[in-house]
Structures are given as structure tokens and as C-alpha cells.
Structure 1
Amino acid sequence: MAISTDKSCYEPISRIDKLKLHFFSVFYAIWFIIIRVFKRLYKSEKVLREIRDKPPPCLVDNTLGSHSYIKIGSLKLHYVEAGDINSPLIIMLHGFPDCWFGWRHQIKYLSEYFRVIAIDLKGFGDSDKPVSKLSYRTRILINELHQLIISFQSKSKIIIGHDLGAYLGYYFVTIYPNLISKFIALSCPHPNVFWDCLPKSSNINSNSQKRNRTENLYKKFNGLFV
């Protein structure tokens, strides 16, 4: 299946909008630096470096769902589950930097009709956080996600991903198209769009996954995107 290169649906950003984006980016960066400087001046180093080893109450609240853990090899993953176990399954993958709590409003309503599982991806929330960068390669993350999802025995599985979660979702449904019935991506276009839009000289384009490797994955795609 070829990828459409039609860009008629793209909405260009005006020069004024670009200037606004740059202005507010610089403004908030300077504002953050000023706040940090004043904190260091008026607060002791001990307070600034205080270790908070207890999560805030909202992250351990059971009213949104039950908190569970699962072992994938040596990896421990945390997730929150709500809804009827016999209902169609929705698996929610958060973005960066976030955790399961980012889905709290959706969990409340979707759990009335679905079995909802909001995962803390590896490196986030209460899931394990390996130090090695190699542990976060896309292939490894997808393999671990595959083992996790097949452990949830459900005939109908839907993935909703936001940002980083959507990025992983694209790869997952491409490699395992028969495992997922529907995929919903939020705030993240298909990975090939990045390669189409980035200049060939871009460091991201040259150092990241090559275009032909992404297209090879895309050829396995079986029309599951909605």
C-alpha cells in the first residue's frame, strides 16, 4: 500500500503565527529560568533537592479504577483498569511526559461501555525505568507491548494512543494488524509524514530510522487506522 503524498489537507501557518510561537517559547523559557534562579536564592539547597518518595494522592486513587502490575520478563509495568471485564477492551497509551493519569477523564466515561486499561509505559509513572537507553528502542518497546496486550484475553482490542503512545501504536498495528480491531491516534501523524516533511539534511532525518525501513513496516499495514 502506497502512502498518499496529498498535502491539500495541510493548514499552513502564517508568519505572524510563527512569530507568536517563537515569542511565547522564548518568553516562557526565560520566565522558567527566572523562577528557578529566585528559588535557588531564597530556598535552601536541601529543600530544592528534597527527595519525594511518595506519589501524590491522585496517582494512587482507586475511584478511577484498580491499580495492577504485570511482569514482562524482568520488566514491571503498572496499569489502571476500569469497566466490565467482559466488555470490548480499550488500551490507552499516554504521551510524553505523562502517565496513566492523563486519561483520567476518558476512563470515567469509556469505562461505562468498555473495559479500559490505561498503561504506564516503560520509563513512566509507576512502571520500571531502566537506565540503559537501549531498553527504549522502538522494537523492544513494541515487543514488550505485544506481550502485555496478549495477556489481556479479549476478543476485541482497541488502542487509543496520544503523542508517544500514538507513535508506538502506529508501529504496533503495522506489525500485529490481526491483534487490534481499531486504532485511534491523537496528536501524532503517521511516522512517514515526519520523513516526508523533514529536510533531507535534518539531523532527525539522518540519525533516526531510515525511510525505507518505515515503508517496509507500512507495507504490512492492513487498514486498521480510524
Structure 2
Amino acid sequence: MSYLVKGLAGAAGCSGVCGGYFAINHFSGKEDNRPIAKTLITNSGRTLLDANSDQWAARWSEYVTATGNSLGIEGYDEKAKTVNQAPKEFKDACLSKVNEKVSGEEDKLFQALAKYCIQMTTISELIDSVGKVVLSTTSGQDGTEWTASWDRYVKYSEDNKWGLDKWSEEKVKQTVPDTLKLNVMRRRVERLLGWRMWSLRIMLIDALRISLLPPLPDN
């Protein structure tokens, strides 16, 4: 066989084999359908920190306190010595890693992002967002509004959402227990990470006695 024929045969053989190799490698790869961390977080009702947030220092302090460096911050050991000021590397990690794909809510990266890169919201701010106002615990608002709220609490809180002491005795009284007011005053400043469903927001508002609607089911 001439060199020309051998060359053509070799080329033809390679054409079949190489083509088959390309086809196998091209079609064997599976599409990555994992969700992006940002999508999971926002769909859960939480708000991601943005570059201009005033909560970076607070989140960084929590991150350092937890230890472990779950976001893989470069130079973490040195930067962790300053807990009251978030370093650029921490901000960059939060802002960039939220665009990475994760295996789900059990993914360690997702859990870190959902805990340390989230805008915290006070209960008062949450209530303001739906156009409601928390009743004041001062004497100036000790009349009909609190009485009406207490009546609603008794009517719609058979399970005693606030865990008031001596519930069986208190719920038959017409006067508003001081413990209810103390709970409102204490919890209005608590910070939350967010809620999965809008109905949960309304249920929380109802528990604070400022909603005009009965509690909604959590489904």
C-alpha cells in the first residue's frame, strides 16, 4: 500500500474514532440544574445585603463570633482581630458568592450566605412595611385600642401565642395584662432574617395585636 493510501486510511480511521470521541464527550456531560444561592435566598423572603448597607459591621461581628470562616475569607485570622469593621474581603465574598450555584438549602455555602450576608429587619420595620403601627406601651394609649387588641388576642389566640402566665385566669379578664405590653415592647426591636411566606408576616403582626384581620393559616 502506498504512503498516500495509508495516509488516507489513517485519516479516515481517525475521522471515525475522533468523531465518535467528540460526540461521546460532547453529549455525556449533564446540564447543571442546581439553583443559584441568590435565588434561593430571595425566594425565601430574605433580603441580601447590598454594597451600601449599614449592617456590614454587625454581620461581620457575628461571622467572627461563629468562627470557622465558612465563606473562606482570605487572610481571615488577621482580619478577625478587628470585629467592629467589616473588611472588604468579607463584603466581596457576600456580594460575589451569592451568584454561585448550590446543591440546596442544606449546602454549607448557602447556609453561610443566608446567615451572614442578609439584611436583618426589626419587627417594627416589618409591621411598617404593611402599613400598620405597633401600639404604644405608654399610658397615652392605654384605653380602647389596647382593650380592643386584648379582646382580639383572647379571641384568636387560643394557643396563647405570647405564652402569658396564668392564661386560663387572664383570658377571662377585661383588663390588659402588663405582660402582654412588655412582650410588645421587647419584641418590637427584635431583628428577623425574613419569612418564607407572606401569611407568616400577617400572623406575626396579629400576634403583636395591630392587625385588623384574624390570623391566616400558614399554608
Under a length normalisation based on structure 2, what TM-score does the superposition of the two structures give? 0.21
Q: Which has the higher strand share?
A: 1
Q: Which has the higher Rg, Structure 1 or Structure 2?
A: 2
Q: Which has the higher helix share?
A: 2
Which has the bigger relative contact order, CA under 8 A and spacing at least 6? 2
Under a length normalisation based on structure 1, what TM-score does the superposition of the two structures give? 0.21
